[in-house]
Amino acid sequence: MKSSIRELFIRAERARKQLLSPVLSAIGLTPGQGQAGILNTLLKEDRLNQKELSCRCHMDTTTMSRNIDNLEKMGLLKREMNPESRRSVIICLTEKGREKALNICEMFIQFESTIKKDISEEDMEVFRRILINICENLEENIPQENQL
């Protein structure tokens, strides 16, 4: 029997979690919370305010706030006053956070390599474009009150 797209997404997500969760746990992060994505985003572009970070990580501000609190308690992030706005803070990596983020970046590179195994660059590019279209189709149907 042919699997539905929904079932394939669930299967892929389950496999992703099974591959990444042990690695995240081993470096002290909580799998499934988006912490790895936050650290990876800040490694690429450090010094973002919470709204910018939420947007780049595709995470609502409440969840982001809770994650920032947890990562700050772990000594991986710090908040600094935004010199451009007294009502806003800038989120930055600590040295310890930068080290973990580099581990995460390597983990993500290995994960992408696993995904791409035995698939041509051309097929991956077609898949990427299709996946972007799928994301856009789904996002345009999210009710306004549920959008990030």
For residue range 21-59, what is the model confidence (pLDDT) as tens digits? 999 999 899 888 899 999 999 999 989 999 999 999 999
pLDDT band at 147 (very low <50, low <70, confident <90, very high): low
CA pair distance 65, 55, nearest whole angstrom:
13
Residue, of 97 and 147, whose pLDDT is higher:
97
Per domain, the residue ranges of the chain are 5-116
CA pair distance 145, 57, nearest whole angstrom:
19
What is the structure's pLDDT at 29? 92
| pLDDT exceeds 70 at position 146 | no
Tens of pLDDT along 58-109? 999 889 999 999 999 999 999 998 888 878 889 999 999 999 999 999 999 9
| pLDDT exceeds 70 at position 145 | no
Q: What is the CATH number of domain 5-116?
A: 1.10.10.10
| pLDDT exceeds 70 at position 148 | no
Q: Are 119 and 77 in contact (CB under 8 A)?
A: no
pTM, two decimal places: 0.86
CB atoms near residue 20 (< 10 Å): 19
